[in-house]
């Protein structure tokens, strides 16, 4: 123990050094890091492989998938119609009657025309 009581007091009264203010170089580095991080974030959102491009690609994918599903359904319908035309004579007859207006021998065709309603006398 020191014999001088003032020496003990002096050691207790020492203050911690004041925090140093960031130097100019450190501030420039911080701003540069912030700028680079901002550029990376913006590129991630709107770049070629960014969030917006991914959302557009997903929307296009959904539209194309729906189009493929419609095309497959139409192909299945056409395949079924082609099979019916190859195997079912009544299907051929139905189309011949409907689209070509053909009739069987001995049948009579009656054509009914719509007549516009006459105006009521006043």
Q: Please indicate, yes or no, whether the overall pTM of this predicted structure exceeds 0.85.
A: no
Report the C-alpha gap between 57 and 51 in whole angstroms.
Answer: 10
Q: Give the pLDDT band of residue 1 (cuts 50, 70, 90).
A: low
Q: Is the Cα torsion angle 17, 22, 24, 29 positive or negative in sign? A: positive
Distances (CA, A) of 88 to 12, 38, 99: 110, 70, 17
User: Which of the four pLDDT bands, split at 50, 70 and 90, describes residue 5?
Assistant: low
Mean pLDDT of the chain: 84
pLDDT (mean) for 29-53? 87
pLDDT of residue 3: 60
Stretch 3-30: mean pLDDT, rounded?
68
């Amino acid at each position: 123990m020191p014999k001088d009581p003032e020496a003990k007091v002096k050691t207790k009264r020492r203050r911690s050094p004041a925090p140093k203010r960031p130097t100019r170089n450190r501030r420039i580095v911080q701003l540069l890091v912030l700028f680079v991080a901002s550029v990376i974030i913006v590129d991630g959102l709107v770049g070629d492989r960014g969030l917006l491009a991914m959302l557009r690609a997903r929307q296009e994918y959904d539209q194309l998938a729906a189009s493929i599903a419609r095309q497959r359904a139409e192909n299945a319908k056409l395949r079924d119609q082609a099979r019916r035309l190859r195997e079912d004579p009544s299907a051929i007859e139905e189309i011949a009657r409907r689209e070509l207006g053909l009739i069987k021998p001995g049948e009579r065709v009656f054509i009914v025309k719509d007549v516009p309603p006459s105006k009521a006398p006043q």
